[in-house]
A = this chain, B = another copy of it.
Amino acid sequence: MIRVAEAEALCLALVKPSGAAEAVSLAQAAGRTLARAAVAQRAQPPFRSAAMDGYALRDAELAVGAVFSVIGESAAGHGWRGEVGPGQAVRIFTGAPVPEGADHVVIQEDVTREGDRITIQPNLGNGPNIRAAGGDFEAGFALDAGRALSPADLALLAAMNVAQVEVAPRPRVALLATGDELVMPGENPGPDQIIASNTFALKAMVDQAGGEGVILPIAPDRRDALEAAMAEAAQADIAVTIGGASVGDYDLVGQVGEALGMQRAFYKIAMRPGKPLIAGTLSGKPYLGLPGNPVSAVVTAHLFLLPMVRRWLGQAAVGPARMTARLGAAVGPTGPRTHYMRARLEDGIVTPFERQDSALLSVLAGANVLLERPLGDGPREAGEAVPVLLL
């Protein structure tokens, strides 16, 4: 049994960033990962612009009681083309270009206006209420390859006048559940059967991470059928089997994998849930054999599969999101395996659920974090700082 950190490194070593790129329009780019840097075509603001509605004039002339004659108007989209001279002011609106000659925008609440004359009032606010050209970014400013695009990134790219971006294609992740005990939801299970459930969670997780989860038909515990199904799974960019990787006589996945030329990176990790995990390559493709227990499958996918997806996409920070929380209740010592306890994090306080059986989907569905208890850790008191992984 190897440790979690070592297993993480071995899994990531199975995957190379694809390097491929496809163009998508900004409106379709949310959550995608930049495959090439996106470069600003222009500065933002592209011109000195008013930060407030008011009057543009010369700062040096500004004094309470000073009078200026209004010689024009600069609106958003419709600038004023002349130069502001001494004693002159230009009516201006937020976002509009500040005319030449002016270096201060007096906000409209700080003046009185009669006809074309304005007079500066007392309690004059701070200036200059002008945004410098390029104050947000200069032309040539870039968002780097490997960046997963947030909503704010899309607005930033639009302001950069980048209409479409080159993003990494979504890796296809084949999800193959195995076992004679499984039927699909909506089918009529026999008395000894259960419903295949893991693949639905895994597909949603892969999709959220930027991949494309593909649920394959369930493979029965027959060597020929499993061999065909695993060969099919290896057509994808990342192949995943679920179940059949423990030590029972009916766990064929490892045997069939060997027959298909699987190169094993490791088998079994010192963690719970999730001990029986296979990683390697299958027909040259990155391959994970996840445990069949639903909670084990989801936890190991968070720790190992999603980082592989993110690495394939070319992202830099690929590990699960971790933070520090305070224990809401005392916990006992761990054994020889790192324990990922299903838990609720509420405003910085993490409380593990009482029932930690890896078969309990109802508990997993109530969890929003995993409390990470390192192997060999002693008992911990309520209030101690502990690491959690965000689900």
Contact = CB atoms under 8 A, between A and B. Distances in A.
A45 B189 CA distance: 12
A145 interface: no
Interface stretch (A9-17, A253-261, A353-361): A353-361
A210 interface: no
A250 B93 contact: yes
Interface stretch (A118-126, A134-142, A263-271, A333-341): A134-142
Interface stretch (A55-63, A64-72, A198-206, A229-237): A198-206
Nearest to A207: B30
Contacts of A182: 77
Given A215-B27, A248-B93, A348-B323, A77 B159 contact: no
Interface residues of A, number: 93
Given A93-B249, A151-B204, A185 B162 contact: yes
B361 A155 contact: yes
Interface in A297-325: 298, 323-324
Nearest to A93: B248
B365 A191 contact: no
Contacts of A191: 46-47, 79, 97
Nearest to A298: B152
A294 B77 CA distance: 16
Contact of A185 (B158, B184, B246, B324): B158
A347 B324 contact: yes
Interface of A: 26-27, 30-31, 42, 44-47, 51, 53, 75-79, 93-97, 108, 131, 135-137, 141, 143, 150-164, 179-182, 184-186, 189-205, 207-208, 215, 221, 246-250, 292-294, 298, 323-324, 347-348, 357, 359-362, 364-365, 367, 391
Contact of A159 (B157, B161, B294): B294
B359 A77 contact: no
A201 B95 contact: no
Contacts of A347: 323-324
Contacts of A204: 30-31, 150-151, 154
Contacts of A190: 77
Contacts of A348: 323-324, 348
Q: How many copies of this chain does the complex contain?
A: 2
Contacts of A76: 179-181, 192, 221, 250
A45 B158 CA distance: 51
8 contacts: A75-B250, A77-B193, A93-B250, A135-B359, A154-B201, A154-B203, A156-B197, A159-B195
A364 B180 CA distance: 51
Nearest to A188: B161
Contact of A194 (B95, B164, B201): B95
A364 B156 contact: yes
Nearest to A355: B135
Nearest to A367: B152
B185 A51 contact: no
Most buried by B among A45, A79, A151, A190: A151
Nearest to A202: B151
Nearest to A74: B192
A135 B192 contact: no
A246 B94 contact: yes
Given A26-B185, A51-B357, A151-B202, 13 more contacts: A30-B204, A51-B359, A94-B248, A131-B357, A136-B359, A136-B362, A137-B361, A137-B362, A152-B367, A155-B294, A158-B185, A158-B197, A161-B185
Contacts of A195: 158-161
